[in-house]
Amino acid sequence: MSPIIDISQAISILQLGEVVALPTETVYGLAARIDQDKALEKVFTTKNRPFFDPLIVHVQDLTQAQSYAHWDEVSLFLAQAFWPGPLTLVLKKKEGQISDLITHAGPTVALRCPQHPLFQAVLKGLQIPLAAPSANLFGRTSPTTAQHVIDEFHSQVHVVDGGPCDMGIESSVVQFDETESKLFILRPGVIGKKDLEEKLLQKKFKVSVEFRNQNNAPGFLKNHYQPSVPLILVYESSQAQGDRSYLELIKDFISPEIELKEWQLPCEPSLAARQLYGDLRHFSENGEAIYLSIPELWAEDDRWQGLMDRLLKASHATLAFKDKWLLSSTT
Ligand code: TXA
Ligand code: MG
């Protein structure tokens, strides 16, 4: 039996306390009702995800989100500005409203209002939020098509096919700290530091936007999203233009049986993001090692932050030129 289902079937299955994979504008999510602990547990066990890694709660709109968290005025403004869309806000949770399975019994909850019409239709049908991590095995590449979900879970998980995801990388996760008046980017995504700064300035908020790595959450660990073949990032350098001697270093680093191929990503960040995870899956299936040239601009430009974060986490080594090519392992 095909695991593809339609919206009304998805609603019925979720009502019964089961999990369903749904498309969002970022990546496909593995959804469960937030009031069904059995289904929430199944999200973790299906993905092989440790219970200490908290889930994002997907809401229909800001009104629904207000039932679950205490909102400061900066977070409220950001939700009004970017929702529905790929921005997740971490807020102080309202006690007794959210299962400890979602937050790992912590004081905060991550909330996001997805833009995808099919996900929205399911939320409207249920009138209850859905917890949904990316629909992939823990630590692996996130799915951006229904077929990716099927390749990962076969007939074990029903999936609503919403076509390829528009954005292709996960939402930006942010948290406002009122005492420091700082907005921390916990996970970069399509919405970048500059986008956030510009919006906050429009409203004359005196808030600085900074990156903060969370070491206790797997989504923020050094390695994640990894393909099962070596990925090497080569930082382009004006001093070493046209010099391909690094290929020898890569060949020494990877096993000699693996074929080495150059990966070409579009030079436009939204197109590159859309292609990223599908390409990584393809390379894993083909068993090819890959190297990708990173133009200097990508490491500096705000619009490439989300992509650079995923590329680094997926990589096994980087090569940079300092008088000569130097390879550093990233695993
Ligand atoms: O685009 C997305 O965000 C996708 C789609 C399906 O919505 N979801 C997604 O979920 O990427 P997941 O579980 O793969 O990543 C959620 C990240 C994790 O790194 C988790 O640690 C973090 O959000 N997170 C969840 N709750 C948190 C909290 N209360 N405080 C800090 N980080 C939290
Ligand atoms: Mg994930």
pTM of the model: 0.95
d(CA 297, CA 168): 21
pLDDT tens-digit profile of 149-185? 999 999 999 999 999 999 999 999 999 999 999 999 9
Whether residue 90 has its Cβ less than 6 Å from ligand 1 = yes
In the block, tokens 């030079």 appear at 267
For ligand 1, say whether the CB of 115 is within 6 Å of any of its atoms: no
Q: Is the peptide bond before 84 cis (omega within 30 degrees of 0)?
A: yes
Q: Which atom of ligand 1 is nearest to the CA of 106?
A: 29
Which pLDDT tens digit goes with each residue over 315-331?
999 999 999 999 999 88
d(CA 233, CA 30): 30
CA distances in angstroms from 70 to 64, 105, 110, listed in the order given: 12, 16, 12
Q: To the nearest 5 percent, what fractions of the chain are helix, strand and coil?
A: 35, 25, 40
Q: Which of 28, 88, 102 for a ligand 1 pocket mutation test, highest count of atoms within 8 Å of Cβ?
A: 88
**Any atom of ligand 1 within 6 Å of the Cβ of 170:** yes
Ligand 1 near 219 CB (within 6 A):
yes
CB 165 within 8 A of CB 145: yes
Question: Angle between the 146-153 and 269-286 helix axes, to the nearest 10 degrees?
Answer: 30
* Nearest atom, ligand 1, residue 220 CA: 19
- Which band of pLDDT confidence, cut at 50, 70 and 90, is reported for residue 226? low
96: left (phi over 0), alpha (psi -120 to 50) or beta: left
CA distances from residue 108 to 79, 151, 188, 221 in whole angstroms, order as listed: 16, 33, 19, 19
Region of poorest pLDDT, from 37-41, 87-91, 132-136, 139-143: 139-143
Nearest CA to ligand 1 atom 15: 133
Q: Indicate if the pLDDT at residue 47 is higher than 90.
A: yes
